[in-house]
Structure 1
């Protein structure tokens, strides 16, 4: 059974506010409008969910923020038997991440590659296979595919120019107006 991510970008409005301490958080945009993927590498890297690549998660198990908006809380609590692993991460944290940091361990999945004249060597997927004593960097051919044991970096897991691009662009735009400490991604999962 697959796992999907749900959530919101929240922003604490400070633009035009005389006293930032009096401002409140707002559910700025539903994550479903910005991200439609199912990227287990990103889920593991960010929140520790389906962490097959072996990352030190950036924001695992934080729960909902204590000052989460009512709208976000209502969405999460709307399906208590379905949703799990709520957490959040601020834009201030995300911009400080070393995206070239490698995972703590090699990926539990074998990376599969195919070669074509038109595109060259391209990753075609990942699969759980018996590594038979193989270690990082090992490569072999099986079922017409090039198989590799690899260790991923955060940048490979959360491609900033890929599916996560609209999420990061939205968070950055809000941070440019309100400040990086006032923008966060609140997320949870189903399966």
Structure 2
């Protein structure tokens, strides 16, 4: 499932922390991969993640950059925000409900979701469900197929450059410029 993802990273604009400033927008860094958004904010029904910061709405004190872009978004939904402190305490190994999940594993060890299970034999599915690897030939190469959980970390890795967003949040707290509770990601979706 794909959705359009909007929002950005905000920091307090002054030392009092009363006003917020948008430092960067999500696009072009993140894509519309719904499980990535769902694992952070909820608001989309993709694979059944328990969100870190479920549908809180926009912050009352959101920056002008965020509120202006939000006002320009047609039919927004799934509004929420999360602080770096909350992201740090999230269980990145937390699994989505709704499995089982099957993956193509390339030579570099990268997992890509395999959804064509209807093309597998009953024997191949049984072997995967028993924890074995199955060799799969595809139009773009030969892969090992495995059954494995779908974690928050995996969803964010597939959702574009979310690492840029989380890395920026981390960098903003270096040298005690901001506290982890003072930097936040604010997001929403549109179809």
TM-score scaled by length of structure 2: 0.74
Correspondence for 1:77:
71
1:169 aligns to 2:167 (yes or no): yes
SS of equivalent to 1:102: coil
Correspondence for 1:178:
178
Moved more, 142-151 or 43-52: 142-151
- Structure 1 pair 91/99, CA: closer, same or farther in 2 (3 Å)? same
- Structure 1 pair 140/167, CA: closer, same or farther in 2 (3 Å)? same
1:91 aligns to 2:91 (yes or no): no
Correspondence for 1:27:
22
2:94 to 86, 101, 105: 101
CA contact (8 A) 2:8 2:185 kept: yes
CA contact (8 A) 1:43 1:51 kept: no
For 1:38 and 1:171, locate their aligned partners in 2 and report how far apart those are by CA, in whole Å. Answer: 20
For 1:29 and 1:120, locate their aligned partners in 2 and report how far apart those are by CA, in whole Å. Answer: 32
TM-score scaled by length of structure 1: 0.74
Q: How many residues align?
A: 177
1:113 aligns to 2:107 (yes or no): no
Q: CA deviation at 1:54?
A: 2.1
| Structure 1 residue ranges without an equivalent (≥5) | none
| Structure 2 residue ranges without an equivalent (≥5) | 139-143
CA contact (8 A) 1:106 1:152 kept: no
